[in-house]
Amino acid sequence: MNDEDQELTEAPEPKNPLAEVFGFPISNKSERALRFQSNRLCPFNNVVPSCTKVSEVDPLGVCTLFDKDCEPTVVCPVRFKEDFLITVQAANFFFSPDTKWVALPEIRLKDAYGKAAGNVDIMLVAHDENGFVTDFGALEIQAVYISGNVRRPFRKYIQDLTAMTLDWRGAKEYPRPDYLSSSRKRLAPQLIYKGGIFKAWNKKIAVVTDRKFFSTLPVLTEVEVGRADIAWFVYDLVHSTTDDTYKLTHHKTIYTEFHPALNIITRSEAGPVDEFIKVLQKKLTKLRQGEMVADTTLASEALE
């Protein structure tokens, strides 16, 4: 085990990794919470009443996951649809006041060669009195990837909905929010492929994320709303002690231009070159001493 793996293993773990299951904390034993959990329902305006995460037949109903700070982070994009806050806010960014608009989910986007560039989470379409399209903007929802196995603690809890808590500390493949993969494998490709098309069309994009994930991104260069190509809507989950639920709450909005934001997000920050040279030297020394290191056949021949 290398030093990085050791640090990951020793990272603090909340006792219970599941912040919300089918819309409610597992400590919430209200009639409403148990009704949603026992019937596998989604309270956040899914396309159907049931949760459909991963599977319509056997849904993985984990909406939010606790991170190492014991704060919830959103791992299901539908969680952001609470009270339609994000669609109204995006419409205010895209269109002038009093514009008539509708929200269309999962719209396929193609490039100039007819190849799929991905689906847009929600397209907001402005229209006139006769129902003809007059403008549009793209709303992308950025939930967080999970490392580890979240299905196991989820199944454990579902077996006994009367449990007030769940102690999953020390479990194999303990589930954690994977902020790095979320930015590199989802956010960056979205901006490159889909964002590039909308920029070419001179259309705006809104990106929705939560406070915990956004705090892991590099600092973006802000501009006035009138110059912005992208609006970053950052939301938080605020716990209500009155009814033991989390409320989706707007935290802040950041306005950026497309190309500067893309450059910052897709650029890796270089560490000390001396550290990398030490790694190379260590590998080279082992190779010269006759020890095998991964994929070194050609290197061994070169040293003979």
In a domain, 282, yes or no: no
Convert the pLDDT of each residue in 113-125 to its tens digit.
999 999 999 999 9
Convert the pLDDT of each residue in 13-24 to its tens digit.
789 999 999 999
- Can you tell me which residue has the tokens 């319509």? 56
What average pLDDT does range 136-148 have in this prediction? Answer: 96
Which residues in 190-214 are b (16+ Cβ under 10 Å) and which e?
bbeebbebbbeeeebbbbbbbbbbb
Burial of 139 (0-12, 13-18, 19+ CB in 10 A): buried
In a domain, 110, yes or no: yes
SS3 (DSSP) at 301: helix
- Can you tell me which residue has the tokens 């580890």? 148
In a domain, 304, yes or no: no
Domain count, the chain: 1
In a domain, 137, yes or no: yes
Question: Structure tokens of 85?
Answer: 């806050």
- Can you tell me which residue has the tokens 């009814």? 243
Least confident of 56-65, 127-136, 143-152, 275-284: 275-284
In a domain, 276, yes or no: no
In a domain, 99, yes or no: yes
In a domain, 106, yes or no: yes
Instruction: Name the pTM for this structure.
Output: 0.85
Contacting residues for 104 by C-beta, under 8 A, at least 6 apart = 122, 123, 124, 125
What string of DSSP letters covers 261-292?
HHHHHHPPPP--HHHHHHHHHHHHHHHHTT--
In the chain the first and final C-alpha atoms are separated, in Å, by 31
Neighbours of 68 (CB within 10 A): 11
Contacting residues for 292 by C-beta, under 8 A, at least 6 apart = none
Convert the pLDDT of each residue in 184-205 to its tens digit.
888 998 888 999 999 999 999 9
What is the total residue count of the chain? 304
Domain of 255 in residue numbering reads as 11-266
- Using 50, 70 and 90 to split pLDDT, how confident is the model at 165? confident
Convert the pLDDT of each residue in 210-234 to its tens digit.
999 999 999 999 999 999 999 999 9
In a domain, 65, yes or no: yes
Q: What is the pLDDT of residue 267?
A: 81
